[in-house]
Amino acid sequence: MSTTPLTRSLDSESLGNQEIERLFQQPGTDILVVPRPKTFAQIETSSLRIADVRSNVSLRHATEEVAQLAGEVGLADPLVLHDIVTSLNAFGEVFKRSTLELRIEYTKKQSCPKFHCDNVFARLIVNYLGPTTQYVYLDRADELHTAPHYAWVFLKGGKHPTFQHNVHHRSPEMNGNEARLCAIVNFAEWVGRA
């Protein structure tokens, strides 16, 4: 079955969370890339530390909890922190969750080099700096796609009821001078966490 990338004419300003949910639930949509405008200045990298931190975040206290977790990476830009909270809230609304796992990664290496699909219900990735998430449609595996910076990249995993196993993704290749900052959102209990 041929698949069509669902990135055409989509953006977060014209799509509400209900429309994102409707599009994402469709069979054959194993990835939904929602481009978004950059809403902040260049991210200051001098204070960032190589780290991969994660914690469950209550949407009720997301602003404080995101700031605390981001502080472990050295990320303090209030506009970027606000964007991470906005992304958490969108994911929570789409999937009817009030507590989510947030992972913030700042790295200079390719953390997940093989194309794969995750054993989750759904995942959201937002790339802020450096190379961005790459993906291929299995019926056209020679065509490499790269997510735009700041886009919401919604991925279905093997636990989603309409998962079709037609898209694989990976973290991007990195050269020695590059660094990548991204936020990853999962269900809080995706690996049995409370």
Cα 140 from chain centre: 23
Give the lowest-confidence range in 39-43, 63-67, 132-136: 39-43
Res 8: pLDDT:
40
Res 176: pLDDT:
78
Q: Quick check: 86 pLDDT over 90? A: yes
Cα 147 from chain centre: 10
Q: Quick check: 68 pLDDT over 60? A: yes
Higher pLDDT, 36 or 5: 36
Q: Quick check: 72 pLDDT over 60? A: yes
For the chain, domains (ranges, CATH) are 30-37+46-187 (2.60.120)
> Which are the contacts of 82, defined by CB distance < 8 A and separation ≥ 6?
63
Number of other residues whose CB lies within 10 A of the CB of residue 85? 19
Model pLDDT for residues 7-34, shown as the tens digit of each residue = 444 555 667 888 888 889 888 899 999 9
Cβ-in-10-Å burial (0-12, 13-18, 19+) of 92 comes to: buried
How sure is the predictor about 114, in pLDDT bands with cuts at 50, 70 and 90? very high
Do 31 and 69 form a contact (C-beta atoms < 8 A)? no
Residue bearing tokens 């990976």: 170
**pTM for the complete prediction?**
0.90
Model pLDDT for residues 140-182, shown as the tens digit of each residue = 989 999 999 999 999 999 999 999 999 999 999 988 789 999 9
Res 11: pLDDT:
57
Q: Quick check: 94 pLDDT over 70? A: yes
The type of residue at 121 is F
d(CA 134, CA 126): 12
How sure is the predictor about 189, in pLDDT bands with cuts at 50, 70 and 90? confident
